[in-house]
């Protein structure tokens, strides 16, 4: 059985995204750079499930160091996870992906960043309880 996890960064008020990107994308402060490095380190060698927008944003080097799978809303989360028995599977992406996979996620690894600006996507605490919110 796969070990299903989610790893994400949120702003001070739970901000996740803004116009299809992370609101702090491109920020050079040390805490932001450390978060990106940690993400790539923690997911190395594992499976990363992501939606289409996130998939298109993944740099080429990342595909060589992990199994990256583009998922769609038409796919059944249980069936996707079942393809990777005995692997660590990270569920990445955004609200729609986490809402669909929340019941299967065993570990949530959340980094709170000092960002406190605008957003149009937010972290839903209901995901932590395994519900789609």
Tens-digit pLDDT profile for residues 86-126: 999 999 978 999 999 999 999 999 999 999 999 999 999 99
pTM given for the model: 0.92
Domain map of the chain by residue range?
A: 3-129
Distance between CA 33 and CA 84 in Å, rounded?
30
Domain 3-129 bears CATH identifier 3.40.430.10? yes
20: alpha, beta or left? (left if phi > 0; alpha if psi -120 to 50): left
């Amino acid at each position: 059985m796969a070990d299903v996890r989610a790893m994400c960064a949120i702003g001070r008020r739970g901000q996740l995204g803004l116009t299809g990107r992370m609101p702090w994308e491109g920020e050079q402060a040390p805490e932001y750079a450390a978060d990106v490095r940690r993400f790539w380190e923690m997911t190395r060698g594992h499976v990363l499930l992501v939606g289409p927008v996130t998939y298109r944003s993944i740099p080429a080097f990342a595909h060589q160091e992990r199994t990256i799978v583009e998922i769609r809303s038409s796919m059944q989360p249980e069936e996707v996870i079942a393809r990777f028995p005995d692997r660590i599977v990270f569920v990445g992406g955004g609200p729609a992906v986490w809402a669909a996979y929340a019941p299967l996620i065993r570990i949530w690894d959340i980094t709170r960043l000092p960002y406190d600006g605008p957003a149009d996507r937010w972290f839903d605490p209901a995901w932590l309880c395994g519900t789609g919110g």
